[in-house]
Structure 1
């Protein structure tokens, strides 16, 4: 929990949204999917206190108690998966801050060209989910299923919070190799083809259609095979600046933008599946220095040590907010 919260505190647009009190106009206390606005209120109080910078450390006991009242799995001190916590927490914030009060039904995308189907799916999604979390952290996948018998292709566009990347089975890889593995076509047996009207073998391809201003990358270090669980300790090299997401981008307009991202946080996991410890590395926007957050201990660190085989969650910020058409 601590490592994720530290990284999110360095997500400047989100932190400023709370410290400036802009979240209050979006509070949705009647959303049955949310936490009655209480999670957003407690997180705001935590952010404001931490930004006073007058504490050696701060124990977020009220925030943790509020979180546990809606999610009992976070009640004790047992270690939880950082990605699962981040996903639950950001989903909870989203529902507490959802600007939508009345939701509409899903739309039909059959037979539409890619760009029209993607825009319609995204706009329809925003009629049900519209918050600062969607504005900052959510992108859009393009999923294509192609029948290997008749060639018919069925498209689906869906939102994502984390860009979850598999790690290739090599001693050392870079982030681009993970992206290439992510977009590799997968054979699916028994898919019901809408054209053939029966079960067929198909090829499934996942690609990126829309990227968010703040990109969270989840490196799949934990693998499951039946009752067995394992952790991959492969070193994944990733850039601290000028990350370009090009492999797996299906949207021609996004390819033309050549968007660059800069790293501002890393949640690292040390240990194995049965136990371990999370430590955060974060870059301070003002000093431009990197810091190591190990529970209550905070210390400066050289940026040469930011990339390691313990990296689990990567937090990137788009270098240029101007062309995104949003004001945060």
Structure 2
């Protein structure tokens, strides 16, 4: 009976203490004016902020109710809670743990709770910058010009833009893709400026933009970030096709991701309708020829042969592309005597001969196709087909592709739109030549013969030598191991200091460009050089 009496007295004292505390808080809130704002020097809890415990990379959900509406982060322990009024999780966390400072995860306003007043102080700007990084136009332009190292809270130095990414469980594929995409200057600059997509309601676009800004934030509290929110948005938008814990093919993720960004940004079939098409889209000219079948082969009719017009079987079409696939030659089944040192190799030029306009590909339907590039994109994505499905498993082709780091010239694979050679013009009729001159608003005054018209057109059109066709490598994704258990590594060029870096999840290290050229490249990103 005495123990029960003592326990009831303790409960009564605790309830009285809680009622008194609630009454004091309510009285203090009554004394506050609506929208009361105080300086940091007026708040006695400013020294309780623990910046090392803050991490805004994860989903902004309440740790108790899992609600995503009106969520606050505790600036003392880093936990997320919902609400601000009396009786909410934030309110009781402040009372029980004696943690009083919270930041709203949407608008970035900082409050002292349960007292209820808002705090404005310049010393809190770094916390707001970590929550929602912002950059001016001049700061965005200087990213590729200045290499300035920053200092993390743990004492380590890091270079903004070249920081590690957490592996959340077989997610090296998204880490390698993001490391390369943030190296593409116009693509990165678009997502660095929030005004470009502020009205976009797509959570995928917003999460990728926020991750890009955090990548280059010089005031980061640590030298790595987590793609947790972006992976959640990718999983939801792809209907669980790409998700945490699954090993995914980087080229499938990359093409799906670019197309989804294009759609969410309001892009259409027009060439420059989104930043994705303005950056990566080119045009390939396809010539197809159908093989004659038994029905349309030459058949005798009496003394004459009934011939089918071959031109009716040939068609030309221009198709847009975001990336080009290159087929690797099959690895030899039988090797030489020194099997340990045998590494199959192939030059990049040999793979690109697919687009010389002469090399034919025969499909199973009996259609012969040739390809040539009619418009080069500002940034070219090349994919090496290393994986092939056989009867039992997916096998990987280990062939090394020899490629230059700079000055990859694609001139011989281009058939530029609107640029005619003298031979092309000589094969046209006078009427066709006059039509070309009319479209280009050229005067035919003084042109008495066909040769005069040809010379006039050739002089007016730009020279082939003035068209940019050379590319420099800026990103290279390497797949190490097989498709199911392997990992992806990205080699990226930091333009501000001209240094190549090898990035694999959290590991960032400098490397030589010669080592990039001998890797088993899988996806490459090339930048078009301007003349």
TM-score by length of 2: 0.49
Query: 1:270–1:276: 8 Å Cα contact kept in structure 2?
Result: yes
CA distance in 2, matches of 1:242, 1:290: 17
Identify which of 39, 64, 67 aligns with 2:231. Answer: 64
**1:179 maps to what in 2?**
352
Tell me the distance in 1 between the aligned counterparts of 2:500 and 2:494: 6
Tell whether the 8 Å contact from 2:387 to 2:397 is kept in structure 1 after alignment: yes
Q: Name the SS of the counterpart of 2:413 in structure 1.
A: coil
Q: Give the one of 311, 315, 318 matched to 1:157.
A: 318
Maintained 8 Å contact 2:491/2:516: yes
Q: Which runs of 4+ in 1 moved over 3 A?
A: 147-150, 225-228, 252-256
Question: Conserved in 1, the CA contact under 8 Å of 2:355 and 2:373?
Answer: no
Shift in CA distance, 28/207, structure 1 to aligned 2, threshold 3 Å = farther
Per-residue CA deviation, residues 262-318 of structure 1 (Å, 9 max, x unaligned), is 111111100023320100010001011011111111111111111124210111111
Contact 1:166 1:182 in 2 (8 A): no
Matched with 1:299 is: 509
Does the alignment pair 1:313 with 2:481?
no
Return the offset for 1:21: 2.6
CA pair 223-248 structure 1, distance change in 2 beyond 3 A: farther
* Bigger shift: residues 16-25 or 292-301: 16-25
How far, CA to CA, are the matches of 1:234 and 1:140 in structure 2? 28
* 1:15 is the counterpart of 2:188: yes
Listed one character per residue, the Cα deviations across residues 124-175 of structure 1 (whole Å, up to 9, x for unaligned) are x417x71010000011121111245543211222111111111134721111
Q: Secondary structure at the match of 1:207?
A: strand
| 1:109-258 to 2 correspondences below 5 Å | 125-126=269-270, 130-149=273-292, 150-152=309-311, 153-169=314-330, 171-181=344-354, 184-188=359-363, 190=365, 201-251=366-416, 253=419, 256=465, 257-258=467-468
Decide whether aligned partners of structure 1 residues 15 and 165 sit closer, same or farther in structure 2, where only a CA change above 3 A counts: same
Q: Aligned to 1:97, which of 262, 265, 273?
A: 265
Conserved? CA contact 2:494–2:500, under 8 Å: yes
Give 3-state SS (helix, strand or coil) of 1:42's partner. Answer: helix
In 2, Cα distance between equivalents of 1:188 and 1:279: 34
Equivalent pair of 1:266/1:314 in contact (CA under 8 Å) = yes
Distance 1:304 1:188, change over 3 A: closer
Is residue 247–residue 484 contact of structure 2 (8 Å, CA) maintained in 1? no
- Rounded to whole Å, the distance in 2 between the matches of 1:264 and 1:137 is 14
Q: Is the 8 A contact 1:244 1:261 kept in 2?
A: yes
Kept in 1, the 8 Å contact 2:490–2:502? The answer is: yes
Unaligned runs of 5+ in 1: 30-36, 101-124, 191-200, 324-328
Q: Is the 8 A contact 1:264 1:315 kept in 2?
A: yes
- The answer to which structure, 1 or 2, has the higher relative contact order (CA under 8 A, 6+ apart) is 1
Q: Tell me how large the CA RMSD over aligned residues is.
A: 2.2
| Count of residues in Structure 1 that have an aligned counterpart in Structure 2 | 278
Which consecutive residues of structure 2, in runs of 5 or more, have no partner in the other structure? 1-173, 293-308, 332-343, 420-462
Deviation at 1:23, TM superposition (A): 2.5
TM-score normalized by structure 1?
A: 0.78
Task: From the CA coordinates, give the structure whose radius of gyration is larger.
Answer: 2
Q: Is the 8 A contact 1:242 1:261 kept in 2?
A: yes
In the superposition, relative to structure 1, how do residues 22 and 205 fare at CA in structure 2: closer, same or farther (>3 Å)?
farther
The residue aligned with 1:107 is: none
